[in-house]
Amino acid sequence: AQSVTQPDARVTVSEGASLQLRCKYSYSATPYLFWYVQYPRQGLQLLLKYYSGDPVVQGVNSFEAEFSKSNSSFHLQKASVHWSDSAVYFCALSPLSGSFNKLTFGAGTRLAVCP
């Protein structure tokens, strides 16, 4: 079975501050890992993804994430947040193989950036 845990339902930071959104996963092997962002009343947009190789992956809008196999984690980070980053962020996992790829989402973290 596969699962994703985002332990923080809500995170509030000040504009210009650094950010880390936590994600822990459970899967028997190394999976594909994703971070998606959902702006109000919109669908999902892919921020970044990890398949293999360098554990630090760069994404859009200066986001990056670090994969840790030992900690089963894939935390999202940003050095300096902007008010427009306020949104809900979802971590997701997909198995490496199989014609049917089940993408499993975490519960999401709602980020509020205060001026």
Partner 1 sequence: AQTIHQWPVAEIKAVGSPLSLGCTIKGKSSPNLYWYWQATGGTLQQLFYSITVGQVESVVQLNLSASRPKDDQFILSTEKLLLSHSGFYLCAWSLNSDYTFGSGTRLLVI
* Shortest reach from residue 22's CB to partner 1, in Å: 15
- The residue within the footprint of partner 1, chosen from 17, 56, 60, 107 (CB under 8 A), is 107
* Shortest reach from residue 44's CB to partner 1, in Å: 4
The span from the first CA to the last CA of the chain, in angstroms, equals 41
Stretch that binds partner 1, among 15-23, 56-64, 71-79, 88-96 (CB under 8 A): 88-96
How many CA atoms are closer than 13 Å to the CA of 47, on its beta-carbon side?
A: 26
- The residue within the footprint of partner 1, chosen from 32, 64, 66, 73 (CB under 8 A), is 32
- What are phi and psi for residue 45, nearest 5 degrees? -120, 135
Give the span between the Cα atoms of 67 and 53, in whole angstroms. 10
Extract the tokens encoding 33.
Answer: 């890992």
The strand pairing partners of 66, in sequence order, are: 56, 75
Nearest C-alpha neighbor of 68 from the set 18, 24, 28: 24
Return the number of the residue (52 or 70) whose C-beta is nearest partner 1.
52
Amino acid at 9: A
Return the number of the residue (24 or 105) whose C-beta is nearest partner 1.
105
- The residue within the footprint of partner 1, chosen from 40, 41, 52, 115 (CB under 8 A), is 41
Binding site for partner 1 (CB under 8 A): 32, 34, 36, 41-46, 49, 51, 90, 94-96, 99-108
